[in-house]
């Protein structure tokens, strides 16, 4: 592909948008307002400017299941299962009609549903999990019991023997293999998660690796690990806490020393240039955290990065009109 072209990548390309206002995967209220906050911040209008033909599927309906008693220390298992199944159906429909989907959350438990929905349409897709956290705790390794720290344990086949049958989870099956997953941005990995990463030889790139190789080197290593042929559809699951809290302060589990807006834009532009990005999740924007300035800073950094996944290039471009 000619990377020096000034035309917008992805011009006039269809993109379906799905809101997943889930917050029961962690303990702080507010992530359920993430989709509305990003919409109010102008996300869809900005994307349209870069040539996206957007179909907005609205927000997934999540009715509250009362009496969702914990399973051990795991909180809200039935609500998360119901939300994941609903999200999977909408994402599947969106990918079958528009071919590309942007899912706006919502805490990161949203990705159980988006990955399930995506895998139904493109079972060979690969997942780049961009996050400070590995989010691969099982219900047995998790200290917090928060399901936003567990999504990858539910979707990866090899983990199934280590995941107990949770109430409400009968309809949820693993749908990808550990070799289809790579992380970028890690800097807060629990001991049990590290054990899983090593046991299965998974491709986990931390901020140490980013410092060591540069963002270009690490993105290449991550893509080579999950897709050496360079042909597979790509699912990016972007937790805004992957970025440094100076850019995205309004998030529930911030960790210092994160990716810069500049590094995220590089990842986003490179992935857009592959022409194979079929699904992007944006997780963990929480407008209840911080003051109004923090919230607007978080929203603008997140929207800025999002546009670069769908056509915005820092070199500039000539609009198609």
Ligand X SMILES: NC(=[NH2+])NCCC[C@H](N)C(=O)O
- How many of the other CB atoms lie within 10 Å of CB of 315? 9
288 binds ligand X (CB under 6 A): no
- Contact region for Mn ion (CB under 5 A) — 106-114, 120-128, 211-219, 221-229? 106-114
263 binds Mn ion (CB under 5 A): no
User: By C-beta, is 241 or 244 nearer to Mn ion?
Assistant: 241
149 binds ligand X (CB under 6 A): yes
137 binds ligand X (CB under 6 A): yes
Q: Which residue is nearest to ligand X (CB)?
A: 149
Q: Using an 8 Å Cβ cutoff, are 175 and 123 in contact?
A: yes
Task: By CB under 5 A, name the one of 59, 190, 209, 241 that touches Mn ion.
Answer: 241
Report residue 24 as tokens.
């029961």
C-beta of 53: minimal distance to ligand X in Å? 31
Task: By CB under 6 A, name the one of 135, 263, 269, 281 that touches ligand X.
Answer: 135
C-beta of 185: minimal distance to Mn ion in Å? 9
- Tell me how far apart the alpha carbons of residues 202 and 229 are, in angstroms, rounded to a whole number: 18
| Interface with ligand X: number of residues (CB under 6 A) | 14
Q: Which does 141 bind (CB under 5 to 8 A by kind): Mn ion, ligand X, none?
A: none
- Tell me how far apart the alpha carbons of residues 147 and 25 are, in angstroms, rounded to a whole number: 4
- Contact region for ligand X (CB under 6 A) — 5-13, 77-85, 136-144, 268-276? 136-144
Nearest to 238 by CA among 60, 108, 80, 66: 108
Contacts of 157 (CB under 8 A, 6+ apart): 174, 175, 176, 177, 178
C-beta of 308: minimal distance to Mn ion in Å? 20
Task: By CB under 6 A, name the one of 32, 68, 209, 239 that touches ligand X.
Answer: 239
Q: At how many degrees (to 10) do helices 261-274 and 207-226 cross?
A: 10
Nearest to 17 by CA among 75, 71, 56: 56
Nearest to 257 by CA among 300, 301, 209: 209
Q: Which does 142 bind (CB under 5 to 8 A by kind): ligand X, Mn ion, none?
A: ligand X
Q: Which does 190 bind (CB under 5 to 8 A by kind): ligand X, Mn ion, none?
A: ligand X
User: Alpha helices of 109-157 — where are they, by DSSP H?
Assistant: 110-121, 151-155
User: By C-beta, is 47 or 115 nearer to ligand X?
Assistant: 115
Task: By CB under 5 A, name the one of 32, 59, 92, 239 that touches Mn ion.
Answer: 239
Residues within window 175-234 making contact with ligand X, judged by CB under 6 A: 190
Report residue 268 as tokens.
């986003």
User: By C-beta, is 123 or 256 nearer to ligand X?
Assistant: 256
- Tell me how far apart the alpha carbons of residues 212 and 227 are, in angstroms, rounded to a whole number: 22
247 binds Mn ion (CB under 5 A): no
114 binds ligand X (CB under 6 A): no
Q: Which of 201-219 are b and which e, b meaning 16 or more Cβ less than 10 Å from the residue's Cβ?
A: ebbbbbbebbeeeebeebb
Interaction site with ligand X (CB under 6 A): 108, 133, 135, 137, 142, 144, 146, 148-149, 190, 239, 241, 253, 284
């Amino acid at each position: 592909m000619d990377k020096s072209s000034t035309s917008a990548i992805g011009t006039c390309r269809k993109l379906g948008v799905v809101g997943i206002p889930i917050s029961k995967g962690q303990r702080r209220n507010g992530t359920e307002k993430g989709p509305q906050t990003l919409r109010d911040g102008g996300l869809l209008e900005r994307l349209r400017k870069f040539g996206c033909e957007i179909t907005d599927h609205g927000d997934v309906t999540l009715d509250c299941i009362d009496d969702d008693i914990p399973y051990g220390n795991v909180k809200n298992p039935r609500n998360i299962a119901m939300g994941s199944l609903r999200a999977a159906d909408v994402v599947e429909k969106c990918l079958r009609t528009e071919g590309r989907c942007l899912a706006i959350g919502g805490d990161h438990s949203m990705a159980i549903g988006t990955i399930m929905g995506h895998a139904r349409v493109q079972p060979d897709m690969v997942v780049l999990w961009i996050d400070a956290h590995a989010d691969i705790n099982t219900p047995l390794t998790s200290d917090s019991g928060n399901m936003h720290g567990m999504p990858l344990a539910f979707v990866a086949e090899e983990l199934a023997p280590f995941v107990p049958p949770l109430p409400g989870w009968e309809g949820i099956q693993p749908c990808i293999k550990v070799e289809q997953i790579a992380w970028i941005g890690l800097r807060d990995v629990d001991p049990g998660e590290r054990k899983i990463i090593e046991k299965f030889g998974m491709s986990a790139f931390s901020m140490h690796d980013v410092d060591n190789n540069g963002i270009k080197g690490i993105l290449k290593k991550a893509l080579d690990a999950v897709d050496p042929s360079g042909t597979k559809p790509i699912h990016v699951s972007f937790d805004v806490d992957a970025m440094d809290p100076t850019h995205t302060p309004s998030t529930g589990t911030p960790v210092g020393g994160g990716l810069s807006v500049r590094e995220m834009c590089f990842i986003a532009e490179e992935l857009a240039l592959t022409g194979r990005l079929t699904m992007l999740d944006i997780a963990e924007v929480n407008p209840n955290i911080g003051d109004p300035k923090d919230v607007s800073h978080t929203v603008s950094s997140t929207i800025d990065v999002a546009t670069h996944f769908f056509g915005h290039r820092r070199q500039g471009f000539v609009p198609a009109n």
